[in-house]
Amino acid sequence: MAVLNVNGKSLEANADARTPLLWVLRDTLGLTGTKYGCGIAQCGACTVLIDGVATRSCQVPLNSVGRKKITTIEGLAQDSKLTKIQQAWLELDVPQCGYCQSGMIMAATALLAAKPQPTDADIDAAMTNICRCGTYKQVREAIHAAAKA
Amino acid sequence: MTIQTSLGRRSFLVKTAAVVGGLSLGFRIPADDDAAEAAEIKEINAWVVIHPDDKVVIRIARSEMGQGTLTGLAQLVAEELECDWSKVTTEFPTPGENLKRKRVWGEMGTGGSRGIRTSHQYVREGGAAAREMLIAAAAAEWKVPASECTAANSVVTHTASGRKLGYGQLAMAAAKLDPPNAVKLKDPKDWKLIGKPLKRLDTLDKLTGKQVYGIDMRLPGMLIATIKACPVHGGKLKSFDAAKVEKMPGVKKVVPVDGNAVAVVADTYWNAHTALAALPVEWDAGKLGQVQQDDVTAMLKEGLDANEAFIGNKAGDAKATIAGAAKKVEATYKFPWQAHACMEPMNATALYTPEKCEVWCGTQNGEAALAAAAEAAELPVSKCEAYKLILGGGFGRRGRADYVRQAVLIAKQMPGTPVKMIWSREEDMTQDSYHPTTMCKMTAGLDAENKLVGLHVRISGQSILAALSPQSLENGMDSRVFQGFMPGGPEAAYGYTVPNLLIDHAMRNPHVTPGFWRGVNTNQNAIYMECFMDEVAEAAGQDPLDFRLKMLKPKYAAVLKATADKAGYGKKLPDGHFHGLAQIMGYGSYVAGIAEISVSNDGVLKVHKITAGTDPGYGVNPWLIDRQVAGSFVYGLSASLYGEITIKDGAVEQTNFDSYNVMRMDEMPEVETVLVPSGGFWGGVGEPTIAVAAPAVLNGIYKATGKRIRELPLMNHDLRKGA
């Protein structure tokens, strides 16, 4: 039994030590906002923050996490108050199908924490998540909007 | 503080009871306990439910997969309903309820860019009828003629006295009234919501992790399965050794599925996945296991010159004209298999008992999902139900119900236990129904004045209908192969006037399953026609735009001209930048694209901008149309740049995004949408523009490099000058 620090809470997770964090979050802890897209760290749909670093949770075994702080998409808004990034996403109507957007928002959250005023090149480098609907332009605009907010 | 989490009974409260007081169709997750309230609320009609607090629930029959049809359809109903847009929410009626109510919601299938263009009439009538009933209820309350009352912004007003009643106050009484016999729809010039760039209705939950997709489904006591089908399509499951994995953590059962697949059912996906990977399986692929990619190419090549072919469009005598032409141009093109690669892998949740079968899934065709569930369960449709969830991408893939059938066949082997079946990305990539592969031989004849007088288009290759819907073939012919090439009709007609024309199809069907893939056959047909048109224009010594405009019918020419004007076609571009263009009609809309590209000295292609023109007749939501146009280019250009499925020993070689690459943010071109709705017809917007991206880029590449790329994907070509 592992005890994880997820979204500011200590949660017990009864899963095999090698289970990727992605599936611990989804199946064991019921936090299904973090998505499965590829399982090989290519698509970024499973991105969470681990101690503030955007991390593809499909490649993180449960036994490597320890008490590091995990933040998932469910942990961003506090008391239903959206973060400025979520707010920018809302105002610019970013998602289409929306499936990749949890990962996009988590990656953007880490980017803006590290670089509050990112350039387009910074965004290109940090935002390698796959979107099949084609929201790339709106994601970029929303990051710039959040940076100004 | 440590919180014990146990997923199961309290994670999601799911109402599967069909209808409470005519509202609350299907189920909702998580559920508010509003049964008491719901019992008081009656629908006005099938499309509209109004709550006492003025909340308007508009029923959406089609599936939402990101394309925005949910918002567009709600706009159509709300326009006629005259309701307060800020009060609008939506819900999906279930396919089972649709059948019970004699298909009151019409067709639920969501493909072919049909959501709005094939239901605009009856959904607007639904909104109008509800408005008339609300007005009638107010008139009865005030004992005045309905003709003295008007409705706007969810309020009915008696004009003479100024009395007002809100829709929420009127809903109960209105629901008891008979619907009007006929309603008059608004004149388009009076539209207040249609044509406005309103924001989507389904955004918020997608930003907080709350949106429940099929893969997120949870039911009390649910188990999770994952599956592997024979890697060679058409092959069989020979044997598997369940004993080798049955003792692995979390494993509940190992089950054969449909004679061609095996699934592991476990407590979590990871445990199911791990056990499936360890499961010894033997397949029987037969001779299909020896088929190589070269065999497929040879099969298609043979069809290019075959005597027998289905004729899709014919005028005059193309062959004789070309034979006697002053100048002849010939080129052969090839289009590969491409995967859908929806971000959300295929999945479905099923609960089977001998008396009843229910499925929860993202589907583009709820009624097909229901039918597949009933067939797999071997139960009457009336004892089954399908609950539609928001899709994590569809692109045509989720129009098939193969994954629904599998989920039910697994659940059937565990009666009473809900089972969520999830495909791994690898399964999703290798068991897709791919964009069909075809080749095309184009032959043109020019007369002495360099006028195109004869054109023969010979398509050779796969038919989607032959594989997925053989009953839809017409005397063996798949007419949809001719999308964009049809002699007429409101759907996909050929735009050029060529006096001697022959477009025919030698059907050649390799064993790999084809399917509907955003844009479907317009994708390769636009490349064949529009790239070749550039070749013919060059042979004629004319500019590609001028050459086309001389032959294009008026609506085609108008949208191409508008797009070229907006893009500044013919004007000076930055050094090293070139314009390529293309046009087509598909899904009832006329579209054109101008790509501005450059190719660096080391052969790197950059798509700087695509200007995209579209005439869908009426544009319901310009903002969402803009998103669909840009999105179609991401999907289409991803395929043009990287999309290629190949086979080895009969099986698909690409397994994940590392071997099947797609476009990322840094490759996203600027997209400018030129919306030129000419009115009088309703065309689609989800797909049409996708087809012009690739040929426009390819035509630009020729200008930049002198290379005619006639086979996709581009990653297989060296674009360096002289290479």
SS3 for B601-668, per residue? CCCCEEEEEEEEEEECCCCCCHHHHHHHHHHHHHHHHHHHHHCCECEECCEECCCCCCCCCCCCHHHC
Contact yes or no for A95/A135 (Cβ under 8 A)? yes
Number of DSSP helices (H) and strands (E) in chain B, helices first: 18, 28
Closest to B573 measured CA to CA, from B704, B722, B714? B704
Q: Counting one residue from A and one from B, how many pairs have CB atoms under 8 Å apart? A: 197
State whether A11 and B249 contact (CB < 8 Å). Answer: no
Q: Please report whether residue A24 resides in a domain.
A: yes
Instruction: Pick B35-198's CATH classification: 3.30.365.10, 3.30.2020.30, 3.40.50.12160, 3.80.30.20.
Output: 3.30.365.10
Element containing residue B332 per DSSP (H, E) = strand B327-335
Q: Residue type for B150, please?
A: T
Show Cβ contacts of residue B631 under 8 Å, excluding neighbours closer than 6 positions: A96, A133, A134, A135, B66
CB within 8 Å of chain B, chain A residues 62-101? 72-74, 76-77, 82, 86, 89-90, 93-101
Secondary structure, 3-state, B708-721:
CCCECCHHHCCCCC
**Distance, CA of B65 to CA of B391 (rounded, Å):** 5
**Distance, CA of B499 to CA of B455 (rounded, Å):** 9
Q: Where are the domains of chain B?
A: 35-198, 214-286+346-422, 294-338+434-716
State whether B630 and A137 contact (CB < 8 Å). Answer: yes
CA dihedral for B27, B32, B35, B38, sign (positive or negative) = negative
State whether A130 and B343 contact (CB < 8 Å). Answer: yes
Q: Which residues in chain A have their CB less than 8 angstroms from residue B270's CB?
A: 15-16, 19-20, 23, 27
Tell me: do A14 and A48 sit in the same domain: yes
Q: Please report whether residue A127 resides in a domain.
A: yes
According to the CATH classification, is domain B294-338+434-716 in 3.30.420.40? no
Instruction: Report the SS3 class of residue B507.
Output: strand
Closest CA in chain A for residue B9 = A30
Last residue of one domain, picked from the residues A74, A99, A126: A74
State whether A132 and B208 contact (CB < 8 Å). Answer: no
pLDDT at residue B190, as a whole number? 97
Contact yes or no for A104/A37 (Cβ under 8 A)? no
Show Cβ contacts of residue B486 under 8 Å, excluding neighbours closer than 6 positions: B312, B313, B479, B492, B493, B494
Element containing residue B549 per DSSP (H, E) = helix B544-551
Q: Which residues in chain A have their CB less than 8 angstroms from residue B1's CB?
A: 9-10
CA-based radius of gyration for chain A? 15
| pLDDT, one tens digit for every residue, chain A (149 residues) | 899 999 999 999 999 999 999 999 999 999 999 999 999 999 999 999 999 999 999 999 999 999 999 999 999 999 989 999 999 999 999 999 999 999 999 999 999 999 999 999 999 999 999 999 999 999 999 999 999 99
Nearest-Cα distance to chain A for B547, in Å, is: 33
Tell me: do A65 and A95 sit in the same domain: no
State whether B631 and A135 contact (CB < 8 Å). Answer: yes
Closest CA in chain A for residue B199 = A93
Between B203, B269, B393, which is nearest A133 by CB? B393
Neighbours of B701 (CB within 10 A): 25
**Is the peptide bond prior to B544 cis by the omega test (within 30 degrees of 0)?**
no
**Distance, CA of B629 to CA of B97 (rounded, Å):** 34
Tell me: do A70 and A92 sit in the same domain: no
Tell me: do A65 and A111 sit in the same domain: no
Tell me: do A50 and A10 sit in the same domain: yes
**Is the peptide bond prior to B514 cis by the omega test (within 30 degrees of 0)?**
no
Q: Residue type for B565, please?
A: D
Q: Is A18 left (phi over 0), alpha (psi -120 to 50) or beta?
A: alpha
Instruction: Pick B214-286+346-422's CATH classification: 3.90.226.10, 3.90.550.10, 3.50.50.100, 3.30.365.10.
Output: 3.30.365.10
Last residue of one domain, picked from the residues A16, A45, A74: A74
State whether A95 and B66 contact (CB < 8 Å). Answer: yes
Tell me: do A58 and A114 sit in the same domain: no
**Distance, CA of B558 to CA of B678 (rounded, Å):** 10
**Distance, CA of B497 to CA of B647 (rounded, Å):** 39
| Contacts within 8 Å (CB) and 24+ apart, B298-303 | B299/B508, B299/B510, B300/B334, B300/B437, B300/B438, B300/B439, B300/B460, B300/B461, B300/B508, B301/B439, B301/B460, B302/B460, B302/B508, B303/B439, B303/B458, B303/B460, B303/B461, B303/B506, B303/B507, B303/B508
Q: Which domain covers residue A126, as residue numbers?
A: 84-148
Show Cβ contacts of residue B13 under 8 Å, excluding neighbours closer than 6 positions: B29, B30, B31, B33
Between B2, B207, B638, which is nearest A89 by CB? B207
CATH code, domain with A14: 3.10.20.30
Phi, psi for B191 (deg, rounded to 5): -65, 135
Tens of pLDDT, residue by residue over B578-604, are: 999 999 999 999 999 999 999 999 999
Residue A116 contacts B where some CB pair is shorter than 8 Å: no
Cα of first residue to Cα of last residue in chain A, in angstroms, is 42
Instruction: Report the SS3 class of residue A90.
Output: helix
**Distance, CA of B138 to CA of B146 (rounded, Å):** 8
B214-286+346-422 with B294-338+434-716: one CATH topology? yes
Q: Which residues in chain B have their CB less than 8 angstroms from residue A77's CB?
A: 208
Q: Please report whether residue A79 resides in a domain.
A: no
For residue A127, the 8-state DSSP code is -
Contact yes or no for B254/B242 (Cβ under 8 A)? yes
Tell me: do A66 and A103 sit in the same domain: no
Q: Please report whether residue A25 resides in a domain.
A: yes
Tell me: do A67 and A13 sit in the same domain: yes
Show Cβ contacts of residue B192 under 8 Å, excluding neighbours closer than 6 positions: B79
Closest to B24 measured CA to CA, from B39, B4, B9, B13? B39
Closest to B215 measured CA to CA, from A118, A14, A26? A26
Closest to B579 measured CA to CA, from B465, B661, B411, B699? B699
**Distance, CA of B351 to CA of B103 (rounded, Å):** 24
Tokens at B291, concatenated: 């088929």
Contact yes or no for A116/A148 (Cβ under 8 A)? no
CATH code, domain with A123: 1.10.150.120
Closest CA in chain B for residue A135 = B631
Last residue of one domain, picked from the residues A21, A40, A74: A74
State whether A38 and B425 contact (CB < 8 Å). Answer: yes
Phi, psi for B165 (deg, rounded to 5): -135, 135
Question: Could you tell me the CA-to-CA distances from B6 to A28, A31, B422 in Å, in that order?
Answer: 8, 12, 21
Tokens at B493, concatenated: 């007609």
Closest to B500 measured CA to CA, from B322, B310, B361, B282? B322
Query: Residue ranges of chain B with pLDDT lower than 70?
Result: 1-40
Between A29, A95, A124, which is nearest B203 by CB? A95
Tell me: do A97 and A142 sit in the same domain: yes
Q: Please report whether residue A40 resides in a domain.
A: yes
Contact yes or no for B493/B479 (Cβ under 8 A)? no
**Residue B628 burial (CB < 10 Å; 0-12/13-18/19+)?**
buried
**Distance, CA of B164 to CA of B155 (rounded, Å):** 7
Tell how strand A47-50 and strand A2-6 pair up: unpaired
**Distance, CA of B8 to CA of B430 (rounded, Å):** 32
State whether B269 and A23 contact (CB < 8 Å). Answer: yes
Tell me: do A120 and A58 sit in the same domain: no
State whether A133 and B662 contact (CB < 8 Å). Answer: no
State whether B656 and A73 contact (CB < 8 Å). Answer: no
Q: What ranges in B237-385 are assigned the alpha helix state H? A: 269-278, 293-304, 318-323, 366-377
Residue from A24, A32, A63, A85 whose CB has the most chain B CBs within 10 Å, to mutate? A32
Q: Please report whether residue A118 resides in a domain.
A: yes
State whether A43 and B657 contact (CB < 8 Å). Answer: yes
Contact yes or no for B622/A122 (Cβ under 8 A)? no
Half-sphere exposure at residue B479, Cβ-oriented, CA atoms within 13 angstroms: 13
Greatest extent of chain B over all pairs of C-alpha atoms, in Å: 88
Domain count, chain A: 2
DSSP B360-420: EEE-S-HHHHHHHHHHHHTS-GGGEEEEEEB-S--TTGGG--HHHHHHHHHHTTSTTS-EE
